[in-house]
Chains A and B, each alone.
Chain A
Amino acid sequence: MTSDMLIDARNIGVNLSNRWIFRHVDLAIERGKVVCVIGGNGAGKTTCVRTLLGLVNHSEGTIKRADPLSVGFVPQKLSITPILPVTIRRLAALAGKFKSGEIDEALSAVGLDELGNPSVSTLSGGEFQRLMLARAILRSPDLLVLDEPAQGVDVSGVEVLNKLILGVRDETNCGVLMISHDIELVFDIFDDVLVLIPHEFEKLRHSDTA
């Protein structure tokens, strides 16, 4: 692996309960590059990214990760129970040991500094995504991973979000891995794209490999 290589996956696949969620995936993520994973519902996008992060064990293939590899993860959605009170600053601060000024900076980088410190439960979908992005930026990660950041965000919101992501990439030279169900949402920003096709379709294409 070269020093810029963050994750190098060769021919990986995940089999859960005798069903291939996805197979034959090759993916390399380097510093400074934006890699998108595109695919329809059920194509295994989220499982693929979770596998690359080590949250799911792969059934075949090899994955090499830079060591150490610090990851800033922006999950698609978090369901925080209403009985757990948490404000945006408190959630951001859970990313690690940071000074109050650093948290201010990260929140203003995503444009949340003017909200004050409201409860997380009051945020809109786009605001929540930006909060999670601020939290990820705070960790100054080698790799920024976003699962469908455009979900529940309107068109102008997507542009803002994409600009933010590119800004972070330019500033820190981190690698970016993001999932989208729609190639148009990420068309302007990716360097590489992995298109995941649901396995049923793939079987039709290579009936000999199934």
Chain B
Amino acid sequence: MLDDFFIRALIAGIGLAIVTGPVGCFIVWRRLAYFGETIAHSSLLGVAVAILCDVNLVLGIFFTATVVVFIVFLLERREGLPTDTILGLLAHGGLALGLVLLSFFPSVRIDLHALLFGDILAVSRQDLLVIWVGGAIALGVLCWLWTPLLLTTISSDLSRVESRKPLLSKVLFGILVAAVIAVAVKIVGVLLIVALLVIPAATARRFASVPETMAIGAALVGVVSVAGGLFASLQFDTPSGPSIVVAALVCFVLTRLPLGLFGKGNTGA
């Protein structure tokens, strides 16, 4: 069964969506969409680093992304610059630096299109292993971090007074995002990964009254989007990564239509 590229793509995408759902909830709760974007952009620098150091692509991206996470935290504490300024600096600086570095290796052929938009149909058996084992570890870490991170999101002061180590949970969550993005770049690409974090979470908000149900809901919406997007891309011969994101967007819009079909509309505004 795993011989079929389409089945492999489906299993990879579902594995990824199960992780990006709950992680994406914290991305939206903590207003970290641009932070995610920064990590994603800097993964192009990660690709250059991987080629330079001759290591595995995912490892190269993860290593670079982790360094970027620490730079963000350091700059925030030291320089007193607004966070979005720091992120703008690093996101586009990292992207540009990556492209410039790659140009020094004319012999290395990089499929830039696949990096930017993903190539889920090229997923190998080994990739599947990385996604599911890595995904299980990421979910385990997130469960362990859950309560302190949630309290830190609600109030950093409360979290510190109650000895929940808010800084540690923030840094660990940053590294977790770096890991998820490193794995996801191959699937949906640098430019689309944040969509898989933000859209399912935003969709699930409407049906949730506690954080935990929103996380599970986001995972489900992600899985539906991956399946829907992949089947649509097969049917209409559209690019797979963007099709998944469009499917997620359709889910979001459908749940916002005033049809009275989708629960009692607990938007909490």
List residues of chain A with CB under 8 Å of any chain B CB: 50, 53-55, 71, 73, 75, 78, 80-87, 90-91, 94-96, 119, 121, 139, 145
Contact = CB atoms under 8 A, between A and B. Distances in A.
Contacts of A81: 29, 31
Given A85-B266, A121-B268, A95 B210 contact: no
Instruction: Classify the secondary structure of A's interface with B.
Output: loop
B158 A82 contact: no
11 contacts: A54-B160, A55-B157, A71-B161, A73-B157, A78-B154, A82-B267, A85-B205, A85-B214, A85-B266, A90-B210, A121-B269
Chain B contact patch, size range: 20 to 34
A177 B213 CA distance: 37
Contact of A85 (B157, B160, B211): B211
B157 A84 contact: no
A11 B98 CA distance: 54
Contacts of B214: 85
Interface in B211-268: 211, 213-214, 266-268
Contacts of B158: 73, 75, 78
B264 to A, nearest CB: 12
Given A71-B162, A94-B150, A119-B268, A83 B29 contact: yes
Contact of B157 (A75, A87, A95, A119): A75
Contact of B147 (A73, A85, A94): A94
Contacts of A121: 268-269
B194 to A, nearest CB: 15
Contacts of B160: 54-55
Given A55-B161, A73-B161, A82 B154 contact: no
Given A75-B155, A94-B151, A86 B161 contact: no
Nearest to B217: A85
A53 B161 contact: yes
A71 B29 CA distance: 26
Contact of A94 (B154, B157, B202, B267): B154
A145 B153 CA distance: 20
Contacts, number: 64
Contacts of B154: 78, 80, 84, 86, 91, 94
B28 interface: yes
Contacts of A91: 154
Nearest to A132: B158
Interface in B85-128: none
Nearest to A71: B161
A2 B31 CA distance: 45
A129 to B, nearest CB: 14
A10 to B, nearest CB: 22
A69 B115 CA distance: 52
A86 B155 contact: no
B56 interface: no
Contacts of A85: 205, 208-211, 213-214, 266, 268
Tell which of A50, A84, A94, A145 has the most Cβ of chain B within 10 Å.
A84
Contact of B209 (A50, A53, A87, A94): A87
Contacts of A73: 157-158, 161-162
A121 B209 CA distance: 11
B269 A86 contact: no
B153 A84 contact: yes
Contacts of B208: 85
Contacts of A53: 161
Contacts of A78: 154-155, 158
Most A C-beta atoms less than 10 A away, residue of B147, B162, B269:
B162
A91 B158 CA distance: 12
> Which of B151, B210, B214: most chain A Cβ within 10 A?
B210
A121 B162 CA distance: 23
Contacts of A71: 161-162
Contacts of B201: 83
Given A82-B267, A87-B210, 5 more contacts: A54-B160, A84-B154, A85-B205, A91-B154, A121-B269
